[in-house]
Amino acid sequence: MLGEVDLTRTASAQQALNDVASEDLAVVERHARKPTNRHGRVANPPKGRSGPALAQQTYSMYLQTYGMYVTKGGLTAMSSAIKAIEVGRKDVLALCANMPDALWAQESGCPGWSVQDLVSHMACSFWLAVDSTKLPDPGGMPAERAADLYVASRRSMTPEEVVADYESVSLRGLELLAAVEGQDFEIPLGDVGTYPASLLPTAFAFEIFVHVRYDLFKPNGPLTAEPPPCDELRLAPTLDWIEAALPQQNASLIEGIADTVEINLDGLCARKLRIGNGADVAVQITSDSLAAVWWVTQRGTWDELAVKAEGDPSALEAVRKFSVF
């Protein structure tokens, strides 16, 4: 539990603050407060620094620096998103502890990645928060291509080393995310989007939820047992991330839709998403909330998942292409 965490005594955070040059921190702070356009993207990123390169250079700087400014009394309560990460982390470690040796090399639900690669990728996500210098420089690659680069750089590790690395860095990442969750600043993540610090834990909860259930277990992954439970604790922050990320990550598709897209999610954690600023509703989608996670990550089709869709045909075609990562 994180009840007594005080990141003012975390060595990695202290070192990060010491290493941040004043002019770099000024760039970070100015960028965090820049106005956004109607899709939530920062309108004018700093010259010479943009996209994934900016994301890797500043992401850890934000979290490690601002993560130090936590009340010395410690964190008295965890949000649902932080709890979801903590539970999801335990799910991952439990699966790894019981993973047959032969399964580590088998193909996961992520094309081109083995089961070991997938666990390694989840560790890399935490490294981006904790200390991005531990990973290769993506040099302007889109986020998903950068993820391939990070995974490839770690393929010499054994499964045991990958698990130990994940266990260690995910705990450090959990502490940092808990520390910055209540801070009032925004973090640019390249083509992933720009988000308030308070929302970042939902991204990690989303990643664990999707990769564990849809990429490790059947039908997409090699594991044949029942996946970890799907409950409100795990699903709610996953849907929170989808709701926040979808408009930013699909801005070009949304620009081509004149009116509003309405997505009604039924079942567990039911909610309604409204995308776009049109006065009229161009498209109405009705989907089970769990099915929505499948299709909005492009892991299943509407027909397979019994999604009901009504509205303008061209707008429907655009909505079918929505993808959140």
Give dist(CA 64, CA 31) in Å, integer. Answer: 17
Output the CA torsion sign for 273, 180, 88, 189: positive
What amino acid is encoded at 324 in this protein?
Answer: V
Summarised one tens digit per residue, pLDDT across range 259-279 is: 999 999 999 999 999 998 888
Give dist(CA 103, CA 100) in Å, integer. Answer: 6
**What is the structure's pLDDT at 182?**
81
In 10 A of CB 22, how many CB atoms? 7
Give dist(CA 165, CA 157) in Å, integer. Answer: 10
Helix (H, G, I), strand (E, B) or coil at 270: coil
Give dist(CA 192, CA 190) in Å, integer. Answer: 5
The pTM score is 0.79
**What is the structure's pLDDT at 61?**
52
Q: What percent of the chain has pLDDT over 90?
A: 70
Give dist(CA 204, CA 200) in Å, integer. Answer: 7
Mean pLDDT by 10 residues, the chain (325 residues): 28 39 41 40 36 44 46 50 97 97 97 98 96 94 95 98 98 93 86 94 97 96 94 97 97 93 97 91 96 97 96 95 97
Give dist(CA 185, CA 198) in Å, integer. Answer: 8
- Could you tell me which of 245, 248, 247, 229 has the C-alpha nearest to residue 290? 229
- Could you tell me which of 152, 165, 156 has the C-alpha nearest to residue 126? 165
**What is the structure's pLDDT at 140?**
86
- Could you tell me which of 60, 57, 58, 72 has the C-alpha nearest to residue 172? 60
Give dist(CA 138, CA 315) in Å, integer. Answer: 34
Q: Find out whether 197 and 183 touch, Cβ atoms under 8 Å.
A: yes
In 10 A of CB 310, how many CB atoms? 12
Which residues lie below 8 Å from residue 269, measured CB to CB, with a gap of 6+? Answer: 232, 235, 236, 239, 289
Rounded to 10°, the helix 115-130/80-97 angle is: 140
Segment holding 293, helix H or strand E: helix 289-296
Segment holding 298, helix H or strand E: none
